[in-house]
A and B are shown apart, each in its own frame.
Chain A
């Protein structure tokens, strides 16, 4: 079922050091990873990034194939990166040009580096969602945003809304399939006809789905209120988050990676003043 494919994969249950990490540590490490990936602007930088990504995947006990599967829906981004780089970068030997579009040796080099970089970033991000349950994830986000709630930022509410939204995704997927089949039983076709016809066919699909979303929201809010839910004030946690050895090791490893990347980057800038 095509509808069943989820972007960035679902939680992959395993018992690994990465799975056991504190979600806050994982979020911070992932964030550092993403930001520092920007530092990798040449082959050496990309290689360092790749090595550390592979170490992380190995440590998570998730088969490489599974990680690849989880980013597959996003491959078009990579293809887009390749095309953009090949046609727009004008450096080195120029093979062909038409207006602003040029194909040059520099373009190919850029295409390879940028594609690998974006690909590795996707790998890193999907590793986060593969090893962390949505509950842990929202818990971590809430905890990280908690300081902001002093200045009136609704961190708990945002975390709660996120986890509810994530919780209901499969429900709506199921209902969407059911509604689609019901309308198909009445002779509707969703994969044929012109764009206009297909767009029109969204109404019989989406309108009952929205109605159902409102129904669920209504019932859920009633159920939450009847159990005295009143937001974050004075609310405690069953599973308090706690940093441990794994988390400090992860911080150490990511620090090494960042330092290496900075060194490599400084050398490049020192040598030729390469643009970012």
Chain B
């Protein structure tokens, strides 16, 4: 079932009539906190989107454009002041539905490891399933499964205190805590923030695997590369409205508009533009390293496009076979297959 936003608006300073009657202190919002009003004018404004099952959506937008506010509507943490949000066929205006939907939608906030609280990893990861009121055998199965999915060994970490793990491992434990809810949709707010390159690669590979398993993924990111490489669809947020909505290729072809919004374009596209200035132009727009490598190889006239693609596919297949035995390699092969293909080719030529 898709995630549907129908004309959703959200205003931070809005006071519902019920609260007003109770005489909430919010009333001073309109008198003395004009600074606050400046900071959050209207967080969301008439958002209409539909995210079908299994889609990988990237959300970009500069700080304060409403990304975090938007994602918190997906599991009813925030309720729209106008409009409706419907997830899994449940209208989130109903309180009971908001409880239900949290089974289906898992949200990982920025720095999710800061929400860890329990004395052991096992206890922390089991928090979600226990809240769902599952029996202990099922809780245990989910905990083991979730830890395995994030690439941690149950026997090694389960009894440890989450605070004694490394930053990257803590984040994986936190993600396991969300996956243990077995959600159909995973919402990630800057999942790679503050991680080292290996941590980033691991996390990205994890997200990729989860998407491949059929999860709907919504990922907020400041990294245009991560979005370009992974997302099937990109939403650009600006002042609480959807400024652009389309495939990465379409969105990143609007370099000028993106720059005006304080956003950028992927490195690969920048490189393409630089090459173009020096008189080395490709026919098609390039947004990922993979595309870039393809385009350069093509341009250098090593092969025709068809030949090249066939070769790349063959290399991928071979790597896939070896990768079955070696999960470490499997994580990395996707991004580098094209480079490897080029290297191979260079070897053949020489």
Asked whether B25 lies within 8 Å of A5 as measured between CB atoms, the reply is yes
Q: Mark B89-132, 1 if CB is under 8 A from A, else 0.
A: 00000000001001101110100101111100000000110011
B279 sits at the interface (CB 8 A): no
- Which residues of A203-232 have CB atoms within 8 Å of chain B's CB atoms? 203-205, 207-208, 211-212
Query: Which residues of chain A are within 8 angstroms of B131 by Cβ–Cβ distance?
Result: 186-189
Pick from B32, B106, B117: contact of A185, CB under 8 Å: B106
Given contacts A179-B115, A186-B177, A186-B181, contact A204 B77 (CB under 8 A): no
Number of interface residues of B (CB under 8 A): 32
Asked whether A181 lies within 8 Å of B163 as measured between CB atoms, the reply is no
Closest approach, in angstroms, between the C-beta of A267 and any C-beta of chain B?
Answer: 40
Asked whether B31 lies within 8 Å of A66 as measured between CB atoms, the reply is yes
Closest approach, in angstroms, between the C-beta of A166 and any C-beta of chain B?
Answer: 17
Closest approach, in angstroms, between the C-beta of A71 and any C-beta of chain B?
Answer: 11
Given contacts A69-B27, A183-B115, contact A189 B32 (CB under 8 A): no
Asked whether B117 lies within 8 Å of A204 as measured between CB atoms, the reply is yes
A12 sits at the interface (CB 8 A): yes
Query: Which residues of chain B are within 8 angstroms of A184 by Cβ–Cβ distance?
Result: 77, 102
Asked whether B116 lies within 8 Å of A208 as measured between CB atoms, the reply is yes
Q: Mark A233-258, 1 if CB is under 8 A from B, else 0.
A: 00000000000000000000000000
Asked whether B23 lies within 8 Å of A72 as measured between CB atoms, the reply is yes
Closest approach, in angstroms, between the C-beta of A172 and any C-beta of chain B?
Answer: 12
Closest approach, in angstroms, between the C-beta of A133 and any C-beta of chain B?
Answer: 13
Query: Which residues of chain A are within 8 angstroms of B181 by Cβ–Cβ distance?
Result: 186-187
Given contacts A181-B72, A211-B114, contact A72 B25 (CB under 8 A): yes
Closest approach, in angstroms, between the C-beta of B43 and any C-beta of chain A?
Answer: 14
A182 sits at the interface (CB 8 A): yes
Asked whether B117 lies within 8 Å of A207 as measured between CB atoms, the reply is yes
B26 sits at the interface (CB 8 A): yes
Given contacts A13-B32, A186-B181, contact A179 B25 (CB under 8 A): no
- Which residues of A174-201 have CB atoms within 8 Å of chain B's CB atoms? 175, 178-179, 181-189
Number of interface residues of A (CB under 8 A): 33
Closest approach, in angstroms, between the C-beta of A94 and any C-beta of chain B?
Answer: 37
Query: Which residues of chain A are within 8 angstroms of B23 by Cβ–Cβ distance?
Result: 72
B318 sits at the interface (CB 8 A): no
Query: Which residues of chain B are within 8 angstroms of A182 by Cβ–Cβ distance?
Result: 107, 109, 112, 115
Query: Which residues of chain A are within 8 angstroms of B75 by Cβ–Cβ distance?
Result: 185
Asked whether A181 lies within 8 Å of B109 as measured between CB atoms, the reply is yes
Q: Mark B1-33, 1 if CB is under 8 A from A, else 0.
A: 000000000000000000000011111100110
B178 sits at the interface (CB 8 A): yes
Given contacts A187-B103, A187-B128, contact A179 B177 (CB under 8 A): no
Query: Which residues of chain A are within 8 angstroms of B31 by Cβ–Cβ distance?
Result: 63, 66
A211 to B161, CA, bound (A): 13
Query: Which residues of chain A are within 8 angstroms of B177 by Cβ–Cβ distance?
Result: 186
Query: Which residues of chain A are within 8 angstroms of B28 by Cβ–Cβ distance?
Result: 9-10, 66, 69
Query: Which residues of chain B are within 8 angstroms of A212 by Cβ–Cβ distance?
Result: 114
Given contacts A203-B117, A212-B114, contact A185 B102 (CB under 8 A): yes
Asked whether A186 lies within 8 Å of B178 as measured between CB atoms, the reply is yes
Give the most central of A13, A181, A182, A212: most B CB within 10 Å. A182
Closest approach, in angstroms, between the C-beta of A199 and any C-beta of chain B?
Answer: 14
A4 sits at the interface (CB 8 A): yes
Closest approach, in angstroms, between the C-beta of B36 and any C-beta of chain A?
Answer: 10
Query: Which residues of chain A are within 8 angstroms of B109 by Cβ–Cβ distance?
Result: 178, 181-182, 185
Given contacts A12-B32, A185-B178, contact A208 B115 (CB under 8 A): yes
Query: Which residues of chain A are within 8 angstroms of B178 by Cβ–Cβ distance?
Result: 185-186
A184 to B103, CA, bound (A): 11
Asked whether A188 lies within 8 Å of B127 as measured between CB atoms, the reply is yes
Smallest CB-CB separation from A182: which chain B residue?
B115
Q: Mark A9-41, 1 if CB is under 8 A from B, else 0.
A: 110110000000000000000000000000000
Query: Which residues of chain B are within 8 angstroms of A1 by Cβ–Cβ distance?
Result: 26
Asked whether A181 lies within 8 Å of B77 as measured between CB atoms, the reply is yes
Give the most central of B25, B109, B177: most A CB within 10 Å. B25
Smallest CB-CB separation from A175: which chain B residue?
B114
Query: Which residues of chain A are within 8 angstroms of B25 by Cβ–Cβ distance?
Result: 4-6, 69, 72-73
A82 to B106, CA, bound (A): 49
- Which residues of A68-97 have CB atoms within 8 Å of chain B's CB atoms? 69, 72-73
Asked whether B77 lies within 8 Å of A185 as measured between CB atoms, the reply is yes
Pick from A10, A72, A211: contact of B163, CB under 8 Å: A211
Closest approach, in angstroms, between the C-beta of B35 and any C-beta of chain A?
Answer: 9
- Name 5 extra pairs, CB < 8 A, besides A66-B32, A181-B77, A205-B117: A4-B25, A183-B115, A185-B109, A186-B106, A204-B118
Q: Would you list the 5 A-B pairs with minimal beta carbon distance, nearest first?
A: A187-B131, A186-B128, A207-B117, A182-B115, A5-B25
Which of A's residues lie within 8 Å of B, judged by CB? 1-2, 4-6, 9-10, 12-13, 63, 66, 69, 72-73, 175, 178-179, 181-189, 203-205, 207-208, 211-212
22 A–B contact pairs at CB < 8 A?
A2-B24, A13-B32, A66-B28, A72-B23, A72-B25, A73-B25, A175-B114, A179-B115, A181-B109, A182-B112, A182-B115, A183-B127, A185-B105, A186-B102, A186-B178, A186-B181, A187-B99, A187-B132, A189-B99, A204-B127, A208-B115, A208-B117
